[in-house]
Structure 1
Amino acid sequence: MPSHLSADHPAAQPPGRGSVDALITQTRRLKGEVDAVRRDAQGDGTDLHGRWQRALCDLALHQLNDVGAHLTELRDGPPAVETAPVSPAPRGDALLSRVGSAEWNLLTDEADWSAELYQILGRDPAAPPLTLDELPSLVLEEDRPTLTAMVTDCLVDARPIDGEFRIVRPHGEVRTVHMMGEPVLDSDGGTAAMWAVLRDVSELRRSQRTVRATRDSLQRHRHLAQTEHRLTAELQEAVLPPRRGSLRLPHQGRPCLDIAAHHLPAGASSPIGGTWYDALELSDGETLLSVGDLTGQGPAVASTMAMMLGALRGMAMAGTQPAQLMSWLNQLLDSGVQPALAGAVCCRYRPQTRTLVWAQAGHPAPLLFREGTGRRLSAPGGVLLGATSGAVYGQAEETLEEGDLLLLYTDGLVPRGWESPRCPSETESGGRPADATPLLDLAPRFHAAPTARDCVRIVVEEFGTGDREDDACVLVARVTP
């Protein structure tokens, strides 16, 4: 091919071989590191973030392949003149086969193509190169105006060429070609020829489209998750009662309950679940205390939780005792359209006798603190709500004393693997269940706390920090004069 001469661009001196070798080595090392990152990001294809990472790595590898091939060509110099026909390279050949060059002489109407350009365009190397008038025959019809405009601007206005168009190879394969070039000027400053470098960028553009698609999908997924998180939080906030101070009964001279509660949300990256707490003064003068946790997360779970809490309040107001109430809640969940499971504790406190009547459904039993020590109440039988039809639930009674503190909580209150310097080991604690140990060891602090709200504050200070996996609820009720 004739050398590319331009009147206003002096020839540049080639760089030293050693410096180019150093760049090639750095490029290869970087390719290996990017490929390692890509392998680490492998998955089953369902994780949007993982797909986005792999697509970015693929794009980076394509570009590094291009850089490596260009540097190799720069180091080795112009290719030798081909003396024998070269067969078209199959897909997947070295990247060098995806970069070709051409020069079209406007005075003689002759064209000179490199062997690589024949491979890019899928042309027989024995065939003559196409002229500028014939070149559009390879281009998709909708892209022909783009090629015509680029060539016209170059030949008429002496503007550089920099654009893309799609070609159709002989067997119908569509490839994307990037073309860069400029006019070759004669001694009088007129355009004598057009020189161009054509590069097959099909894989690169495919990787870029994959990156854009996965990024857009990831953004939509995040927006949907944020919307669901906000709606769930708003629904939960609307349903759960606010924190309470003392709950005074209408009859003077009877012990009352000082009640406080708190909802601890999951971390910002975790969806909100269906936990609840409730404290309600009933029409017969008794008090309803309840906590529960519905399996799953999101708006549908929060909606089911709201339905269950409404049913629980209505049945309690009608005088239903805890065991029967659990049976009906189980039937309610079991007959629902969407299968669901829930753990719950339901208590009725009778102020006249300081009696706590309660039932549980596959849920941690309440903790009772008295005179600076704590213990778990012996739980009556009961399976998770919604686990089986016709389940029967037991009922237990506990007589409380003035100053006693009752703590109801959901499973997620104490994070898995929780360790606190204040809490002794399980063996030192007398073999108590590990999930209740940190709470039971707060007994001395609860004993010194003046109000139920102060006790809740102690629990939040101990377990409310960090990015928890599940949301949780805690309810504290202290028997006061």
Structure 2
Amino acid sequence: MATANAQPASDHAQTESVRLRLLEAEADGLTGSAASTLAAQQAMAGLGGLGALVHLRGDVPGELRLAAASGLGPDVTAAWARLRGDQDAPPVRAVRSGSGVWSADTTGGASGTASVPLPGPDGPIGALSVLTTGPGSPDPEQWSFLTAVAAWIARRTPRLGGDIPAWSRAAEGTGGGTDAELRMSELTVALAEAVSSMDVVRAVQERVLPPFGADGMLVEVIERDRLHILGSTGYSQDFLDEIEGVPLTTHTAATMVLRTGTPAFAESPAEFLRLFPPLESLMVASAKRAWAMLPLIASGRAIGCCVISFTQERSFSDEQRTLLTALSGLVAQALERARLYDAEHTRAQELQRGLLPRALPSLPSISAGARYLPAGQSDEVGGDWYDVIRLSSDRVALVVGDVMGHGVTEAVTMARLRTAVRTLADLDIPPDDLFAHLGDLVRGLGDDSYATCLYAEYDPVTRICTFSSAGHPLPIVVHPDGTVVRPGPAVDPPLGAAEPPFATHELHLPDNSLLVFCTDGLVESATRDIDEGLDQLERSVSRAVAQSTLSSAVRRDEELEPALDRLCDAVMADLLPDREHTDDDAVLLVVHTRGMPDGDVASFGLPDDPRAAGEARRHVREQLALWGLTDLEMTTELVVSELVGNVIRHASGPARMRLLRGTSLICEVYDASPTTPRIRRAASTDEGGRGLQLVAAVSRRWGTRFLSEGKCIWSEQPLTA
């Protein structure tokens, strides 16, 4: 058994308020146990339980008597009719302790019972209980809702008056057709406002079940000639598993109703068996005793079935049958529209996932975590993006961008820009040159096309981050001691409006620093300008870093990605607590930097004459012996001989060589010439021209990057075990 603190959760205060207003509206005019029964139905629906009970204090001290019940048959509720004060039942414990209680048991096929006290001026006056179906105790939001319903019952209890009725009368739920008719307009509005399929299910649950006194609901939809459960209330998981995914050719009440296209009403188990003779075991498993089975037909075709059920036998008047049939038509139309939205929504999510990195790469010089949050009321497709790109020599490019606007068009533009950035980054050109090319691309998209972007390169050897920004918020830097710094240089205008040259800035980053990138959707809103948002981001990052496990993970040399993911979650929750009502996409990218140890870097000057190749080979032999990499000696000598030989023959200026030991062995040869070496096809009779082919053959990767004073030709070889 477990005891839980049932404190309301602020994140779901709005949902609670809506449900309680609905309860107040539905209870208008109801007196006595009918109001408590309605509240029990709402509590059961809110927790997806099998049934609910309301107990009040009796005449005997400590005794609790059942005042109302919903969703439970007489065999179950009889056991709850009178509870002694010395019993260990959850309602008694809740009243005794004054707090929420969850007990794991299998009463009535449930997985447990959750009980909260009904507050009174002199202590609890009773308890509200729900027989739960989940694998454990309700979550904090469910406890909060249960507590709110209990308070509502307690406020109305003094107005109930009279003796506490027997449980059998309280659970009858005989809402009439006139009452349901009055709520027809409310259901119509709710269905018209429903966006997703689950919105339709909630509308049925909240607007159809209470007026008819129903305590069970099934909404099933047809997918690939099978019936799949979209939503349910008041059924055990075992029963749901039994009917989930049945073929339309199977004989069930739902499939038979769909074949005829005509609603079926069963006022008792006997009538159910008369209508559906082979289904006795299924009927018993459902634990229901009256049913309204309504085919959902939209645009002339069946799309599913809605079953409204009751734990007590009941009759359906002609007026009620007509009303339920009309309601099924409204539900079918709303569901058809909502499923179109669901399909588009799913495609939009898949498109966005395809446009963003599926996983951030694991690189020697950085670890990264990222979050993308679409605008709350959007189709989840927008123009924000982020990227982490591996460059030569264990360097890495970090990119964050934002295409102005929101929607599929902007997402396609974003995809083009992201592809262009990756292509240009692969050429190893500096950030300012990259932006010059990217700006041409944006201007070619049209006069009204604009995008902001920040492109940064981190070099683990120099520990310098070089970046350019075109209208984009600058990164926040967190030093290893927790100091938070925000760079101050002004940014250039957005791509599409700015003209070259673009400014380039440098940051020196101590080992184990953090770089925090974002898009304006994270820090700017209708109630907060971008400067205020960046200030809040700075405070939030500082707080999240102080509370994170990042430092201990660094000390223990553990993987940092989980700690960075948790840090991202904390910052997103702090900056955007109401995620469903954001009006812009938001990206957060957090990068932890690591410098290359000095002992893994070796630089050598080379003479400007034919002796350079021999000198380079000697340096390679000595350095690889020092590093214990003599198995790479032969291939590395070949690589540096060809690269240095090319410099002597075709380039100019003094040459130098650098060796880097990381997850691979990197050989770099520098010269002052801007010419690009290219692999050429050598004829069978040629005596030369195969040098770069040999370099490519023994290297995992090789290439050229251009510098302000010349170029660097580099080669990477994998380290053997």
Q: TM-score when scaled to structure 2? A: 0.33
Higher fraction of helix: 2
Q: TM-score when scaled to structure 1? A: 0.48
- Greater RCO structure (CA 8 Å; 6+ sep): 1
